[in-house]
Structure formats: structure tokens, C-alpha cells
Structure 1
């Protein structure tokens, strides 16, 4: 965070008047998602805060209004990503509400599932929420994103919040695979840090999904038509970016001795407001608008710095494995 270029979300973002944006995972009053909503709303966008809890979401929106965000600028969208079915319902609700969608920020995530949880199909909670539910949400919203990209002066972006944690733990293993549904159910329960291992694998999946999606949008003729992806006659002008928000202090209260942990984290970690800057850059920086080809499929460190992700994250073979297996699993659900 110390070498990040100077960035100010008040002056360094596009005017977003008339734009519609959805940010998932914004219910927490101290979270990155809520700060992302705030900065983008201040630039004139109509922002949907995607969250499961109406009570917590509305409390968060009330806090934004106390900070000067006009009523009606940020609205709650029921968005429960804990199951594929509810993720689909969230997207369908968004389709009912809006005729355009300029930016989708896939921000919600499980940082550490405290139990070794798998769903009825044997898929880990981390991979389900952090990857599969966002895959369903994104592809259900894709026709609206595509139609918006064809409007005059459009600048449609899909932002996927990953983590540099994808370079760690089992996500960095040379033998990692996404060839089968069974690969989605590896819990690493034998590890001391099993929840972290599951998290890093899901963050690797975020980057692989972003690159696979960008390829399909940029070169649709190179891929067969599938049930989950619309048939496209020509490339689509949508920029997909994945990113690391930086180390952000949103969890000190869940650590032992939270008061002390908060002080120590404050020395090395960003505030949630600063943690939102990279997402805001990806969502609305004029630099991306002026050089979209440079940023399509890119992975960003704060703020707006293009870097190469891990070797696994750069693997087209691995990303296509992930896409195919996710598509097979989701297709079998018949949502």
C-alpha cells in the first residue's frame, strides 16, 4: 500500500450520472463494499447495494445518507449468495428493476468459513459463495450488460474482487485441478489453516473466471455456444477486471484481543474506505475508458496497477477447466 500511486475517488473517477451499478456484499457498515457504493454514488451513479439482510442493508444505507449521499441514490437489492437458487433470484430481481446495468462489482465473499461446510452436492462454502454464486449472478445479468454496452457512450465493466491470497496455500499448488465437481469439494481439513486454504482457492477461481469471461466476450467465435452463455455474432465491448483490494482492516473485531488487534492492523492495513479505491478505479477510472484493451482481463493491485497474477491464475487451461465444470454443475441445477 505504501507504493500505490496517488488516487482520490472524488477527483479521479468519471462522472457516473445516469449510470446504474450493482455492488454485492455491501451490507456491513465497516466493509469495502459499502465504501465502494459510497464513492460511486458520489459520482452520480444509481447504486444497488446487494445484501442478504434487509435490516443491515438499510442501516448501512442510512449511514451513507448521514455522510451526504442523497436518499434514493443507493438502494438495497436482496442478494443472498449462499445458494445457487438465491443468487439466481437476486439477478432476476435486478432484471425486473432496471433497463440498463453499466457496472457489476462482484465484491461479496466469505473470508473464512469457520466450519468445514459443504453443500448437498459436496461443494465447499467458500467456492460456492465466492465463485459459483457470482458466476450465476454475472451470467444471468450478462444479457442486460451486453445490451447496455450497445448504447451510445457506454462503458460497461465487470469488476471481480479477488485477493493476492490466490498466490498462497493450495491455490499455488502445481497439481490443483478444477476438472470435476469433486475438485470443488476439497476442504483441506487436514491443514491447520483449512479455511484459509479454501479461501485462497476461491480467490484463484475469481481470477480464472474473469479471464475466461473476458475471452468469451472479446472473441465469441472462438468458443462453442453453450446454455449458460448467449450466442454472440461479434465481440462485446465490455471490460472485465479482477483485483486485489489490499490488506483491509475489516476483521479486527473477530480476532483475539480485538482492541489490540485493531491497533496492530491499523499499522499495516488500509481502512475500508481505502480498501474500496481499487474497486472504484476498476469500476470508473477514465484511464480504463481511454485504454480498454490494456485493462481487459487484467489483474490490478492498488491502485490501478496492472500486474501478473500467479502462474496458476494465468493458466488458460485451468480457467477453461473451471468454466466447464462450473457450467456443468450449474446446468444440472436447472435454475
Structure 2
């Protein structure tokens, strides 16, 4: 496996010439009201897909819809619909998926993009730290609830994809990390450099392991669904700017990356997410791409360290299911 697409570094994406026709397809993009999520919604809609912009805040979602119109939505563009999704509570995430199931008879593309980054340690009402709930537990139950519809869509011969947006920070997670107990999920990394970023990194490691294990289980069931992880690279977003405001060292590092032009804009980074979600290459050779990890732009790379650990993935899955049961979902 190599690069899906040969191109100059971070080229502008031409949806008219590079995207397949997505008319008749239905997609969900979580965190679609800003950043990479917004740009992803825009590209999918311009290719004709009906896109559900899943986000918690109605006013921000409405603002995103107005912005989509202002930036151009011509004839043939797909509809964009707000889907209320509160990832701070797995029970609310499940309810959001159930609302979607009442609205649609198919789901072709599910992009789990929403996340919080390097936030202060805060315990959620369900007894798991907020970063893990928002970045892993809620996407897990949201996807699990939608899985029967994803499977039925795939059985009808459609090319169905599940995408998890991850991060290169997963290499920061200590090699002795586990996901066996509630305490494993609530590690603070207190007193360590970049403690908040390490908590974020561990949540993103869980995402990659989740995609790996989900793909393994779907394969065992004979389902043709393709699951992949996508690292969009360093991006200039609200989240990265918030990180800079909280850490002098990270501010220096990110400013240096921007100076070296190593930080992409959301539209540039969204290109890699969308290509993984709709490229015909994945459908033409699914065995080469199932559970793959993509780097910018369209490059399949080996999973680093713990991200390739199958036993850790099974441990993560079993622990996630057990804790969700304790939460009543």
C-alpha cells in the first residue's frame, strides 16, 4: 500500500474533477460546524451527498449552514441538515443516532471527526474524564447504534465507509498504556510535560484501536464495510489555537510549524479525510485498505507502536462495552 493519490504537497481540492458523484448517498460528519469537519461537509455536499452536520450547538450549526450557502452551493449540491449531537454524554449520543434512524433508510459514510484537544482534566458525570468521553466513548456508542443501518446499506451493494479522525500524537502514549479499568481511562499524566496533550493522544489511540477491532469484527461477520483511521496532520483550527493559548511551549512549536508551512488549513486537511471516505481505490481493492491508517494526503502508513497491538484493541473494546453498560447505554 502506498499513496492513493499522487499530487503536489497540499494541493487545492477540486471537487468538480476529483470527487465521484455522491448523489443518492447519505453521510454524517460529526463536528461539522467548524474546522476540518465543516470543510468535509462542504466537499461531500458539493459532490451531491446528503450530509448530516452533527453538532451540539444549534446556533453554531445554523451559522455553518449559512456559511455553506454564502461560499457557494450550486445546482446538484446535496442537502445539509443539522443533527443535534452532544458527545459529552454517551446516552445523548445514542439518542442522536436513534433520531437519525427515524429520518433515513440508508447511511453510506460516517465520519467521526469531532473531538476536544488538550483540555484541562475534568471528570464527566459518567465517571470518565471528559476527553475520553467526547473523543471515544460517545463516538463508539453513536457508531454502534448506527451500525445496523450501515450494514443494511452495505448489503444492498453500496460502498459503505466508517472513518475515525485520529492524530499523530498517538506516538506520545507511554508503551505500558492499558484500557482495562476505569482508572486506565482516567490517567491524568499529572506533572508530566504536555499532560493534556497526552490525554488527548490516548483518546486518539483508542480511536485507532477501535477502528482496527471494528474492522476485524465486521470481516468476521462477512460485512463489506470498510473502516479506516485518518490523521489529517497539523491543522490551524480553533482547537489548535486554544492549545497555544494554554501552553507556551506548544505555542512556540505550533508557531514554528506555521512558519515552516507545515500547518495546513482545514480545507486542505479535509481533502485527506474525504478521499479516504469516497475514493474508488478503497472499493476496488478493499483488502488493501481495510483498517488502514492514512496520513496526508491519501498515504497509507504502518500503524506505530501500540496502534498495531491487536490484544490491546480487544482489551479496549471489552472495557468500553463494560463501562458503557455501567452507564446504562
How far is the alpha carbon of 1:13 from its aligned partner?
Answer: 2.2
Cα distance between partner residues in 2 of 1:329 and 1:195: 22
Cα distance between partner residues in 2 of 1:281 and 1:19: 15
Q: Unpaired segments of 5 or more residues in structure 1?
A: 221-234
Deviates more, 1:186-195 or 1:96-105: 186-195
Cα distance between partner residues in 2 of 1:274 and 1:307: 19
Matching of residues 1-335 of structure 1 within 5 Å: 8-28=14-34, 31-69=35-73, 73-113=79-119, 115-152=120-157, 154-168=158-172, 172-220=173-221, 235-250=222-237, 251-252=240-241, 255-256=244-245, 261=255, 264=258, 267-335=261-329
Deviates more, 1:196-205 or 1:176-185: 176-185
Deviates more, 1:32-41 or 1:90-99: 90-99
How far is the alpha carbon of 1:160 from its aligned partner?
Answer: 0.5
Q: How many residues in Structure 1 have an aligned counterpart in Structure 2? A: 313
Tell me which residue corresponds to 1:228.
none
Deviates more, 1:318-327 or 1:177-186: 177-186
SS of 2:111's equivalent in the other structure is strand
Q: Tell me if structure 1 keeps the 8 A contact 2:49–2:78.
A: no
Q: Tell me if structure 2 keeps the 8 A contact 1:27–1:51.
A: yes
Change (3 A) 1:262 1:23: farther
Change (3 A) 1:319 1:105: same
Q: Tell me if structure 1 keeps the 8 A contact 2:126–2:327.
A: no
Q: Tell me if structure 1 keeps the 8 A contact 2:189–2:198.
A: yes
Deviation track 1:210-230 (CA, whole Å, cap 9, x = no partner) reads: 00000000013xxxxxxxxxx
Alpha-carbon RMSD: 2.4
Could you tell me the TM-score, scaled by structure 1's length? 0.88
Q: Unpaired segments of 5 or more residues in structure 2?
A: 1-6, 247-251
